[in-house]
Amino acid sequence: PVPDNFTIHGLWPDNKSIRLNNCDPNLNYRIIPEGEKRFNLDKRWPQLENTKQFSLAKQPFWEKEYKRHGTCCKNLYNQATYFDLAMNLIDKFDILTILRHEGIIPGTYYVIKNVEDAIKKVTHQLPKLNCV
């Protein structure tokens, strides 16, 4: 099912000049076991490329994102903490609420700059938006 709110694609560390990728792709990914943490992660960061059952069992998207990006900050955040940080950021910056506060609601067309400005007002960063 399509999420009813914005989600994230990934959490990408950088070194203040470039985005870091594939720092330790051979690091073992540990499947997140069934329970509250996996439920909360799936709610905030759904794996949309496969069926829900397959995604939760095999976790291919989370594994790919962790190996590609999470391993670049493994000295600061282990795998569990990396995913906790992602969930905390999603909760801190609830994009749908931010937009609604600025009068921007789903189902209507807006100038991209207005959407960017609304998000930047709260996050203090210009978002990278893709229109589909």
Closest by CA position to 40, among listed 69, 62, 25, 60: 62
Residue 124: active-site member: no
Written as six digits, the tokens of 1 are 């099912």
The CA–CA distances, whole Å, from 69 to 14, 23, 27, 30 equal 9, 7, 12, 15
H or E stretch including 82? helix 79-92
63, 65, 101, 116: the catalytic one is: 65
**Cα end-to-end span (Å), the chain:** 18
In 13-109, DSSP assigns E strands to none
Written as six digits, the tokens of 78 are 């282990």
How crowded is the C-beta side of 101, counted as CA atoms within 13 Å? 12
Residue 102: active-site member: no
36, 69, 101, 124: the catalytic one is: 69
9, 34, 49, 101: the catalytic one is: 9
Active centre residues (catalytic): 9, 65, 69
